[in-house]
Chains A and B, each alone.
Chain A
Amino acid sequence: MLTFILKRMCLMFIVILGVTMMTFLIMHFTPGDPAEMIAMARYGVDDLTQEDIEWIRVQEGLDAPLHIQYIKWLNHAIHGDLGCSLINGQPVLSEILVRFPATIKLAAVSMLVALIIAIPVGIISATRQYSLTDNVSMMGAMLGVSMPNFWLGLLLILLFSVHLGWFPVCGYGGFEYIILPALTLGTGMAAITTRLTRSSMLEVLRQDYIRTARAKGLSEKVVISKHALKNALIPIVTVIGMQFGRVLEGAVIIETIFAWPGIGKLLVDSIYARDFAMIQGGVLFVAVIFVIVNLVVDISYTYLDPRIRYEGVK
């Protein structure tokens, strides 16, 4: 297990290196002079001079060649220093840590909502294949997959906040604030997971060991919950790790729509402001979280599927 984790850590490092390098490149090739944008953000458009811009360029190291800039940033990052915001001078790390809980809260609630809907519906669909229940849930899942996040979000705001007034339109606060964004973010995942649960369950129900379980006289309930479910969950858990990536990705848009003060919104705001340090730090942070979640998912496999034992175990 230890060897496995170490190996994964190495891989994790490479992934993170790649991700940050890509962000760096993309940021610097987007049109517009970054020094000018930063100067505008700091001093306003009106009394901006060319000297101010040049001063910022030198001050923030934007005049050095790209690879030097990257290596400098990486060196600091490795030592735990993500730099300061180019706009307001706040340390990037503390800003991220302030915003991070909001995103995790949103992601966790969305995934919870998705799983609570998807797993039971998927199981019922599989055990009653081609029944009315099955057809209706599969149609629902189809709809859920094909609806774009932002569109669904706006629709929900329109219906539940504007027309019915049940929930606040946007913002951050108590329970009532999280419902609509979590629903928006969770729907796509619920749809995919429902379909996956159904097909995984159908596959498992065809297996010989299910017949063996029935041959013992076990009731259908026990056959499903004790013999089939654990097997069916194995592929679902894999996908949960990947889904988490999608949830983070979706959070960028959803947080903007619902004015949810998480990392997604921070990233979008920083991109508008060309706050390179903040973007770089945010992306790094999200990548690390994503990789860690996937590692945890992979480790949790061992407990679900005893056939998988990573090198070094036993």
Chain B
Amino acid sequence: MTLLGIRNLKVYFYSEDGMVRAVNDVDLDIGEGETLGIIGETGCGKTILGLSILRLLSENTKVEGRILYKGEDLLKLSEDEMRKIRGKEIAMIFQNPLSSMNPVLTVGTQVAEPVELHQHLDNQNAKEKVIEMLKSVRIPLPSKRVNEYPHEFSGGMRQRAMIAMGLICMPSLIIADEPTTGLDVTTQAQIVELMKEVLKDSGTSMLLITHDLGVAAELCDHMAVMYPGEIVEYADVRNIFKNPKHPYTRGFLDSLPGRGLKPIPGISPSLINIPEGCKFHPRCSYATGRCKKERPQMKKVGEKHFVRCFLYD
């Protein structure tokens, strides 16, 4: 069953340099209990895509299309209705827990907020729930640490607290934005293990935003490769690694340490100056005249495998 269906999503910013198309015609589905990975270089609009689902983008943004959650279009809900979704139905684990946690409130206070709000727990019950939650994300001495502030936590512990904050209301969908970035390798592995376990136990679906393919391979069922604002390839994890179709996906894989460390030539584009036609054409060794003028559409190339490239026309 589809839990979240994104249809034709477009996100624009009106900035001083003109209109920025941060997300362009994105279609995605996440099934119940499924984890979908979004991978792509920095600045390609992954976070914006995640934020648009919760409608947390700033006011100078225009969002078009449909975001169907359990069949209901989130973009049509009122602000009050949307607040009942946030944190309760769909929770977000933010990139960079240090800046994403309030420096002047204790970790306990911040983790407790969703249950106090959505499950109307009183202070005492919420605190017990928080301690239980911190224990389940393996934070040692939880009854002491609830009273500490974010800066007193290590990076890995903060990330765990952030995960606890997201999961405390048992949402149906978690949007996890780079949950392992900035952590050392051992801690990364621990966080990945933890998330795997937690997702399996709760049956929660997840949209995992990352530029770490290793993490994506561990956690995802399906993967979508993003290149400035667009999905260029969508497939299950096995196919992305064993049978990548899009030249960008191949380049991305070849740039990995275990696979030759060959960087993709050219610079990664900014959202401000997006090339005409296929956005990848200035860096693509297969590019033809058509690629410069025409924008390729998503083509089915196999069972649940789609690619945006003229090579497969």
Contact = CB atoms under 8 A, between A and B. Distances in A.
A227 B105 contact: yes
A209 B88 contact: no
B138 to A, nearest CB: 21
A207 B117 CA distance: 22
Contacts of A60: none
B263 interface: no
A70 B118 CA distance: 69
A215 B54 contact: yes
A230 B56 contact: no
Interface of B: 51, 54, 56, 83-88, 91-92, 94, 96, 99-105, 110, 113-114, 117-118, 149, 151, 165
B151 A306 contact: yes
Nearest to A215: B92
29 contacts: A209-B103, A211-B56, A211-B94, A212-B101, A213-B102, A215-B86, A215-B91, A215-B92, A215-B94, A216-B87, A216-B113, A216-B114, A216-B117, A217-B83, A217-B84, A217-B85, A217-B86, A217-B88, A217-B117, A218-B83, A218-B117, A227-B105, A230-B104, A230-B105, A231-B103, A231-B104, A306-B103, A306-B151, A307-B151
Contact of A209 (B83, B87, B101, B149): B101
Contacts of B99: 207-209
Contacts of A28: none
A214 interface: yes
B83 A307 contact: no
B84, B86, B96, B113 interface centre (most CB from chain A within 10 Å): B113
Contact of B87 (A211, A217, A227, A231): A217
A134 to B, nearest CB: 14
Interface residues of A, number: 21
B16 to A, nearest CB: 16
Which secondary structure dominates where chain A touches chain B?
helix
B104 A305 contact: yes
Given A208-B96, A209-B103, A216-B114, 9 more contacts: A212-B94, A212-B102, A215-B94, A216-B86, A217-B83, A217-B117, A226-B105, A234-B104, A306-B103
Contacts of B88: 217
B114 A208 contact: no
A214 B86 contact: yes
Nearest to A212: B100
Nearest to B106: A306
A227 B104 CA distance: 8
Nearest to B148: A306
B64 to A, nearest CB: 22
A133 B114 CA distance: 33
Given A306-B149, A307-B149, A218 B104 contact: no
Contact of A307 (B51, B84, B85, B103): B103
Contact of B102 (A209, A215, A234, A304): A209
Interface in A195-242: 207-209, 211-219, 226-227, 230-231, 234
Closest 9 CB pairs of A and B: A217-B86, A216-B87, A217-B87, A208-B99, A209-B102, A306-B149, A208-B100, A217-B83, A215-B92
A237 to B, nearest CB: 12
A208 B100 CA distance: 5
Contacts of A230: 104-105
A186 to B, nearest CB: 28
A226 B105 CA distance: 9
Nearest to A230: B104
A219 B85 CA distance: 12
Interface in A259-314: 304-307
